[in-house]
Chain A
Amino acid sequence: MTEAINPLAIANPKMSARDVKVFYGAKQAIKGVSIDVDMDHVTAFIGPSGCGKSTFLRTLNRMNDTVASARVEGMITLDGEDIYSPSMDVVQLRARVGMVFQKPNPFPKSIYENIAYGPRIHGLAHAKADLDVVVEKSLRRAGLWEEVKDRLHDSGTALSGGQQQRLCIGRAIAVEPEVILMDEPCSALDPIATAKIEELIHELRGRYAIVIVTHNMQQAARVSQRTAFFHLGDLVEYGVTSDIFTNPTQERTKDYITGRYG
C-alpha cells in the first residue's frame, strides 16, 4: 500500500514551512508550499527546471534575501521559531542552516582556513588547539581527512572537484549546523566523486536534517528517504521515496519520473 505522507503531520519536524509563497517582482515562483522536514530522513526536492525547488530551498536559510526583487510570504520555522521574524539574526541562522552549492566554492585560502574560518567568526573556537580539533573533526565527518591531513596548508582550490565539494560540506559542518541544504551538490562532479558525496550524505543522516535539490532522479532515489516533487511552483506530491519511484499517486509526478514530461 502506498503511504502518502501528510506534509504537515511529520513528528518532530526540524523545519516547517506553511503556505510559503515567493515572488520575484510580479512573477510568483512558489505558490503556497507547506512541508515539514526532520532529522531522521534525507529529503530530496525534485522537479523540472523552473519548478521552484531551488527557490524554495533558498527560503529555508533566507538566501533569497540577497535577491533584491524577491519577496517571501508565509511562515517558515526552525525548531518552532519563525526564521523571518525581525529578531532573527540571519548570520546566525545561516550557521544553523548551512548550504552546499552546485559548484564547489572553497575560499581561496588553505584547506585548514576553509574549515577554521566559520568557527572562528562564529566564536565557536579561538585557540589554535581548539581550531585544530574542529578542523580534524569536520574533515573527518566530510570524509576528506585521510586525503588532506598531510597538506592542510595547501590551497583549497588545488583540490579535485569532488574533494572541493567535500571541503565545502566540511566547512558547513564546522559551524555545527542543524540543517544542511544541498543545491545540486553533485552536478559538477564525476560519478565516483558523486558516489562519495552520496555515501557522505548517508553517513550524515540523523546528525543533521538534510535537504537536497537534485536534477538526477536516480540520485534522489539513492540518497533520500522522502521525496518532494515540485512543478510550476506547487508541491505536487511528498512521499516515501520508494513509493514515489514505484507508485506515485499524482499523474504529474508519474509523467515526470517516467520520462514523459512535456
Chain B
Amino acid sequence: MAEHTIKAFDEDIDRLRGLIAEMGGRAEAAIESAMTALQRQDLVLAAQVVADDKRIDAIEAEVEKLVIQVIALRAPMANDLRDVIAALKIVGVVERIGDYAKNIAKRVPLIMVNQRTLEPVSLLPSMGQVASEMVHDALNAFAARDADLAVAVVERDTVVDDFYNSVFRTLVTYMVENPKTISECAHLLFIAKNIERIGDHATNVAEMVYYAATGQTLPDRDRGGAAAEE
C-alpha cells in the first residue's frame, strides 16, 4: 500500500500493527504453555502463564492509547479508519483470550491427581492446538490484511465446537464411571469450555479482520455452535 504523505502517520500505524502482532504471539504462547502445563502437571510453567498475562493486558492499554491518539491527531479515513477501529476491537478480544489461557493455567494445580493420570486430560491438547492455531491465523490475517485467511479461520470454528461436544460427552461418561474424580473432571470441563470460547473469540477477530480488509461484513453463516451442556 502506498505511503502516507505524512510519514509519522505510517510510523503510528506500524507501531500499532507491531503491538498487535506481539500481543497475538503472546496470547498464542499462553494457550500453548497452559496446555503443556496441564499435560505435564508443571506448576512452574502454569504460574508463568498467569504472570505473563500482565504483559498482554499492558499491550491492550498501550494500543487503546495509541488508537485514541491516532484518531485525534491523524483523522484516519476509509481503510485506515477501519484498520484502526479493528485494532482497538481486536486487542479487547485478544485480552480476553489471554484471560482464558490464564484461567486454564490457574486450574492446573487443582487437577493434580496423586500418582495417577486422569485419562480425559489427553483429549485436550489437540483441541487447544486447533484454538491456538485459529488465534495465530486470525492475527496473521490482520497483519497481512488477508480476507481469505480470515474466512478460513471462521470456518474452522466448528472444529473446536465439535471437539468441545465430544470432550463434554467423554467427561460426563468418565465422571459417571469414576465418581471420585468429579472435582478434577469439572475443572477439565471448564478448561474445555475456555478453549471453546477462545475459538469463538478468534472467530470474532477474523470477522473484524475481514471487515477491515474489505469494508464488507462477512455474510451470516450457520452457527452450529457448541451444543448446550446436555
Contacts and interface: CB of A to CB of B under 8 A. Distances in A.
18 contacts: A2-B216, A217-B77, A246-B81, A246-B82, A246-B215, A247-B79, A247-B216, A248-B78, A257-B78, A259-B6, A259-B9, A259-B74, A259-B77, A259-B80, A260-B1, A260-B3, A260-B4, A260-B5
B76 interface: yes
Given A258-B4, A260-B5, A261-B5, A2 B215 contact: yes
Using C-beta atoms within 8 Å of the partner chain, give the interface range for chain B: 10 to 19
A101 B79 CA distance: 33
Interface in A242-262: 245-248, 253-255, 257-262
A262 B5 contact: yes
Contacts of B80: 258-259
B75 interface: yes
Given A246-B82, A247-B82, A258 B77 contact: yes
Which of A246, A257, A259 has most chain B Cβ within 10 Å?
A259
B81 to A, nearest CB: 6
B3 A218 contact: no
A192 interface: no
A245 B82 contact: no
Interface string B190-230: 00000000000000000000000001100000000000000
Interface of A: 1-2, 217-218, 245-248, 253-255, 257-262
What 3 A-B pairs come out closest when comparing CB atoms? Answer: A247-B215, A260-B2, A257-B77
A126 B74 CA distance: 53
Nearest to B6: A259
A236 to B, nearest CB: 14
B75 A218 contact: yes
